Structure 1
């Protein structure tokens, strides 16, 4: 394809956009709306995964030391526990520290003044790297000589994993559905513009124009509309996300829900919106022009 043909296709693509101004605006608006819905669901899924990740980081299990071991022997088990795969971090808690922590969480601390620290055991607080491997990690720590028993909330860990997997699966399904809907919408919008030029396309085909020669101006038109929609959707998403984060910060949910800053995701969101707009525009154009090339 020569330079003259390239510029012809670009010029015709731009001309068609301005010739069918209302249809072009409708295509951009529909693309923006679909990208915003897709982006909003994706951001919800990303933040939900982030919150679940924070909960997973806080999730831990306890390994209690056998009473027959001395304090030095108990602390010597640290290297063996750290050597277990999937162990991220461990913290040794003495009997005295455990009792103090227990009293601190009680409303009537004076009721426990006569409780001796020897009623408790030294223990290790163990954090894991991957919560999905919690059961295997617990079993391996339990097998270490000197560990009397292990306390782990495996049901909670399994619940976190299930929630994360469900959130991810729903996000993927919704994104795929919205992309397909967006392609269909922009295809129908461009098809309306193409319908008004069906006689022109038929004449070009009878004069020997190839399918791609006819198709390229519409592809350029669709790509421009899609990319324009992607850029507009990006800035709209930025503003909407900022308003939602501000509302959360001013509410009582701040201690429960933590949100990621938009700036940490902005370059990826812009890239995805531009790519989605490009695919939606190009895909819609190809679908719209296909019928009219059969002359």
Structure 2
């Protein structure tokens, strides 16, 4: 028998629990964490664009004076014998002169003048599996024949390898932050569950199913995570607009739109996971009066 002045508000069904201070704090913390994840992947996006489209087809060029034509064949063979070099293409001075003349349109240099000044070039294509000492081997081979390697291309190739390693670290950091966010939402919802333990117990006594009790809290966790994801995405725009001009000088065009769905659904998944953890101890057996 329930007294007349008592009006118990049952938390089950699809009526979401009210948002309070704890939920707002959780929303802010998760938003900041998702913003950090989004900023991290924006940085990865910028670095990938800066490296350029050549990153999937890396070439290293070796130059030798055209007057040393008697040893160019030997140099080509030595370069081709390096294990991680898939192919070596010889670029003649005439071919390089034609390309440079097109590039330096109006430069005032005739093709025959360029041919005299340009070295013989070898273009090395590399395999996907590069050893730690590959570039040192190429450099040493070139030096034995008095040739030079394009060090700028070596530096860019090493940046490409570094980006591959950093991407794994970015995924790992995102996973750790996701777990932390799920635990934050879980603790927030757990406090709500403890505060309303009497109401939940009453529902169970009245025969409410477990899913009926858990559903509003799971929906609340999902909304917390998804809302934090949208807010984090909105907070990325000041970053994009603030560095956009500087990035444009490096031919980098940041695109925050590609992060909208990952942050939205990622936040929703994290929130749902936290809610599932928080409600895992809801009594599952049927209770009768």
Kindly tell me: are residues 222 and 150 of structure 1, through their superposed partners in 2, closer, same or farther at Cα, counting changes over 3 Å?
A: same
Unaligned runs of 5+ in 2: 1-10, 71-84, 105-112
Distance 1:195 1:243 in 2: 44
Residue matched to 2:264: 274
Distance 1:96 1:274 in 2: 50
SS, match of residue 224 in structure 1 = helix
- Give the aligned CA root-mean-square deviation in angstroms: 4.6
Distance 1:59 1:38 in 2: 33
> Is the aligned partner of 1:260 residue 2:259?
no
* 1:188-203 → structure 2 map (5 Å cutoff): 188-203=187-202
| Corresponding residue pairs, total | 243
> Is the aligned partner of 1:44 residue 2:47?
no
Distance 2:118 2:229 in 1: 60
State the shift of 1:27 in Å.
Answer: 2.5
Residue matched to 1:80: none
Distance 1:131 1:156 in 2: 17
Distance 1:50 1:171 in 2: 17
Distance 1:131 1:258 in 2: 29
CA displacement, residues 10-37 of structure 1 (integer Å, 9 cap, x when unaligned): 6412xx1xx2332332232222111101
Unaligned runs of 5+ in 1: 1-7, 69-84, 105-114, 143-147
SS, match of residue 44 in structure 1 = helix
Residue matched to 1:74: none
> Is the aligned partner of 1:61 residue 2:57?
no
Residue matched to 2:179: 180
Kindly tell me: are residues 39 and 119 of structure 1, through their superposed partners in 2, closer, same or farther at Cα, counting changes over 3 Å?
A: closer
State the shift of 1:132 in Å.
Answer: 5.0
Kindly tell me: are residues 174 and 30 of structure 1, through their superposed partners in 2, closer, same or farther at Cα, counting changes over 3 Å?
A: same
Does the 8 A contact of 1:223 with 1:277 survive in 2?
yes
Residue matched to 2:74: none
Distance 2:12 2:148 in 1: 70
Instruction: Tell me the TM-score normalized by structure 1.
Output: 0.63
CA displacement, residues 100-135 of structure 1 (integer Å, 9 cap, x when unaligned): 99xx9xxxxxxxxxx9966864435567796959x6
Distance 2:114 2:261 in 1: 61
Residue matched to 1:12: 15
The answer to which structure has the higher helix fraction is: 1
Residue matched to 1:205: 204
Does the 8 A contact of 1:230 with 1:276 survive in 2?
yes
